[in-house]
Structure 1
Amino acid sequence: MNRLPAMKANDWLNKVPEITLSFWIIKILSTTVGETAADFLALNAGWGQGVTRTVMAALLATALFTHLRTRRYTPWIYWLTVVLVSVVGTQITDLLTDGLGVSLYVSTSAFAVVLAAIFLVWYRVERTLSIHDIVTRRRELFYWAAILCTFALGTAAGDLATEALGLGFIWGAVAFGTLIGVTYAIWRKGGNAVLTFWIAYILTRPFGAALGDLLTQSEIYGGFGMGAMWTSSIFLSVIALLVAVAQVGMNGSGSAQATE
C-alpha cells in the first residue's frame, strides 16, 4: 500500500491558494455545486442517496490523498477536492436531517461545536489558524477537517434559515450575502484577517446553498426552476474555466522560475 511521502518542513510550499476575488468566486460556485450536484445524482440521475454517498466519499478520499501527496498548491487538485468536500458535506447534513430525522437546530449546533473544537485543538497545537501557514502535514490535516466541517455546518445553517425559520431561498441568499458583506467591511476596517476569513468561509456555504436552491427549485416552491443538471453544469463550467486559468498561470510561473 502506498504511503504519503515524508516531507521536511523546508520542503513544503503553502498548499492553499492566495485569497483573491477569484478564490471567493470559485468557493461560492463550489458551494452551490455541492448542493445541486448531490441532488442531481441522488434524485435526477437515479443513483439514490446510498450510492451517491459511497461514490462521492470514495472520490473525495482519492482527491484528498492526491492533494496530500503534492508538495505545493496545484489548482486543479485543490479545487477538485473542495468541490467534492462540498458534495460530501451536503450529504452528511442531508443524511442526518432526512435519513435520521435529526433537527436542523440540533445538527447546526452540533456542527458549530465540532468546528469550534477543531479550531481550538488546531490553535493549541499549532498556535495559528492562518491559511497562509499550511506548510506541514499536520496543519494540512487540521485545515481539511475544518473545511469539511464548515461545509456541513453551512448546509445545516442554510437549510435552517431557509426552511425551518421560513426565510425562503431569496431572503436566505440576501441574508447570508449581507453577512458576508458585513464581514468584508469589518476586514477592510482592520478586523482580524484570520477571524474574518473563517467567518466569511463559513457564510459562503449557506449563501451558496440558498442560491443553489433558488436556481434549481420549481417556481411553485419559490425557485427559478433551472433544475439541478443545468445549474450544476453551468457552475462547473465556470469553475473549470477559472481553475484552468489559475493552473496555466502557475505552470507559466514555474517555467519562468526554472529558467532563471
Structure 2
Amino acid sequence: MSYETSESPTAPGARARPGDRLRVGESVLAPAGRLLNKVPEVTIWFWIIKILCTTVGESFADWINMSLGVGLINTALIFTGALAAVLAWQLAAGRYIPFVYWLTVVVVSVTGTLYTDILTDSQGVPLAVSSGVFAAALAVVFGIWYARERTLSVHSITTRPRELFYWLAVLVTFALGTATGDWTLELTGWTAGVSVLLPLGLILAVIVGRRLGANAVLSFWLAYILTRPLGANLGDWLGSPGGGDGGLGLGTALTSVIFLVAILATVVYLTLSRSDVIDGQEVTRTARTPNPARERGMLAYYAVVAVAGASLLVWANHQPHAAASGEADTPAPVTSHISPQEATSPFPPAEIAKFRTITADTLAKVNSGDQRAATGRVTDLETAWDDDQSALEPKSEQAWSFLDGEIDRVLKAVRAPHPDKASEVDALDTLLTSLG
C-alpha cells in the first residue's frame, strides 16, 4: 500500500506522462544536478521490511550491548562508525540499490536505538524528556527541509540536500520511536506482548485515514514513526523471557538472526523482482489527485486518534501496575518488613556468606560498567539460590520467601532489556542489607 502520491523521480512536483520511463539500471545524474530517486516505492514490501529492520534495531543492539558485554557507549561508537560508512555508500550510489538502502536502514535503526538508550540508561534522562526532545528535533528537521525544498515527499529525493534531510529525519524517527515506545511501557507496565497492540492499532488508524483521503505525506511519516515502537515491542516480545515478562523467550540473539535472515530474503526478492523501483510506469499507475479540502478535514480525524491514544495511556497509567513490564511480582506483606537478622538467622552462615559474596561481586561489576559480567554473575546467584531451595526453605518459609523476593528483584533489574544502573544498584544494595 502506498502512502504517498508518487512524483516523477526527475522532476519533483511534476506529474508523470504516459510513456515516461527511466532506464532500469541508469546511474547517472539527471539534468540540473538531479539524481535518480534513491528510495524505494512505498508498497507493502516497504512496510514489511521496515518493521523487520526496526525489530532488528531493538534486539541486535541489546544483544551486542548486554549479551556480548560490549557496553552501551562502546556499542554506540561502533555503530556510529558503521552508520557513517554505510551512509557514505548509500550517498555514493547513483540509483536505488535494495541491499545498500536497507542495510543503511538497519544500521540507522540500531544507532537510533542506542542514542536513546544512552540518554536513558547512562545519563538518566527521563523518557518523557527524551521523547519531547526528539519530537522537537524531528519538527525542526521537517521544518527546515520543507522551508528549503517545499516538499517532504519521499518520491522527490532527487537532490543531495533532500537525501541528507531524508536520512537525518529517518535517524530522528528511530530515536523518537524508541523513546516513546519505552515511555509507553514505563507509563503502563504492559507486558511485551500487550505493548505491541497500541502501535499496531495506531498504524491501522493511519491506514484508514489514508484510505479516507488524509494527506499522503503526513500519513507516510506518521506510519513511519509508529513502526519503530511496533518493531521494538515486537522484538521485546519475541526475545523476553516467558511467564511474567510476557515474552516468547527466543532471546535477543535468535530473534536478531531470524529477522536478519527475513530481511536478507526480502532484499534478495526485491533485487530480483525490482517491484519497489520507482520508474515512470509505476508513477502513472499509483498517482492520485489530492483533495485539499478532504485532507484538511482528515486532520481532525488524526487529532481524534491522537487524543484517543493519549487517553488510553492516561487510563493505563492510573491502573495498578508494576513500575516496569513484567515486574509485578512482590513479596507477600507478611515477609516485607522482617529484619536482616530475621531473614538470615534460620540459615547456615556459610550459605548466607556465599550469597552475599556473589551479590557483592555483581554490584562491583555493575558499578564498573561491565553489564555482561554482571549478567553472568547474577546467574550464579540464581543457580546457587535455586540449588539450595530444598535445604533452606523448610528451615523458615517466611525468611526464605523474603529473600527469594529480594533476589527476584535483583534478577529482573540486572536482566532488564534496557538495564538502569540506578535500579540495579538499588536492588543489589537492598539484597546485601537483607543478607546482613
TM-score for both structures, normalised by structure 2 = 0.55
Match of 1:222 among 229, 234, 246: 246
Q: Where does residue 26 of structure 1 map in the other structure?
A: 49
Partner SS for 1:72:
coil
Deviation at 1:78, TM superposition (A): 0.3
Q: Where does residue 148 of structure 1 map in the other structure?
A: 171
Structure 1 residues 107-186: aligned runs within 5 Å: 107-186=130-209
Structure 1 residues 72-91: aligned runs within 5 Å: 72-91=95-114
Counterparts of 1:104 and 1:50 in 2: how far apart (Å)?
A: 18
The structure in which a higher percent of residues are helix is 1
Question: 1:192-225: CA deviations, max 9, x gaps?
Answer: 1100000000000011111111111112422111
Q: Where does residue 292 of structure 2 map in the other structure?
A: none
Structure 2: runs of 5+ lacking an equivalent: 1-27, 278-436
Counterpart check, 1:50 vs 2:69: no
**In structure 1, what residue type is equivalent to 2:264?**
A
Q: Where does residue 268 of structure 2 map in the other structure?
A: 244
Match of 1:208 among 231, 250, 254: 231
Whether the 8 Å contact between 1:104 and 1:164 is mirrored in structure 2 is no
**In structure 2, what residue type is equivalent to 1:98?**
D
**In structure 2, what residue type is equivalent to 1:224?**
L
**In structure 1, what residue type is equivalent to 2:270?**
A
Pairs aligned (count): 248
Match of 1:41 among 64, 86, 93: 64
Counterparts of 2:153 and 2:30 in 1: how far apart (Å)?
A: 20
Counterparts of 1:199 and 1:88 in 2: how far apart (Å)?
A: 21
Counterparts of 2:145 and 2:158 in 1: how far apart (Å)?
A: 14
Counterpart check, 1:71 vs 2:94: yes
Counterparts of 1:47 and 1:91 in 2: how far apart (Å)?
A: 13
Counterparts of 1:167 and 1:8 in 2: how far apart (Å)?
A: 53
Whether the 8 Å contact between 1:9 and 1:135 is mirrored in structure 2 is no
Mark the structure with the bigger radius of gyration.
2
Deviation at 1:165, TM superposition (A): 3.0
Report the CA distance shift for 1:9/1:59 in structure 2 as closer, same or farther (over 3 A). Answer: farther
Deviation at 1:92, TM superposition (A): 0.3
Whether the 8 Å contact between 1:176 and 1:204 is mirrored in structure 2 is yes
Counterparts of 2:175 and 2:34 in 1: how far apart (Å)?
A: 32
Whether the 8 Å contact between 1:162 and 1:210 is mirrored in structure 2 is no
Partner SS for 1:223:
coil
Partner SS for 2:196:
helix
Counterparts of 1:31 and 1:52 in 2: how far apart (Å)?
A: 17
Whether the 8 Å contact between 2:33 and 2:159 is mirrored in structure 1 is no
Counterparts of 2:156 and 2:214 in 1: how far apart (Å)?
A: 19
Whether the 8 Å contact between 1:11 and 1:71 is mirrored in structure 2 is no
Partner SS for 1:89:
helix
Whether the 8 Å contact between 2:73 and 2:118 is mirrored in structure 1 is no
Counterparts of 2:208 and 2:149 in 1: how far apart (Å)?
A: 28
Deviation at 1:56, TM superposition (A): 1.1
Whether the 8 Å contact between 2:34 and 2:159 is mirrored in structure 1 is no
Whether the 8 Å contact between 2:192 and 2:245 is mirrored in structure 1 is no
Report the CA distance shift for 1:173/1:194 in structure 2 as closer, same or farther (over 3 A). Answer: same
RMSD value, Cα = 1.7
Partner SS for 2:152:
coil
Q: Where does residue 93 of structure 1 map in the other structure?
A: 116
Counterpart check, 1:191 vs 2:218: no
**In structure 2, what residue type is equivalent to 1:231?**
T
Counterparts of 2:265 and 2:92 in 1: how far apart (Å)?
A: 24
Counterparts of 1:187 and 1:7 in 2: how far apart (Å)?
A: 32
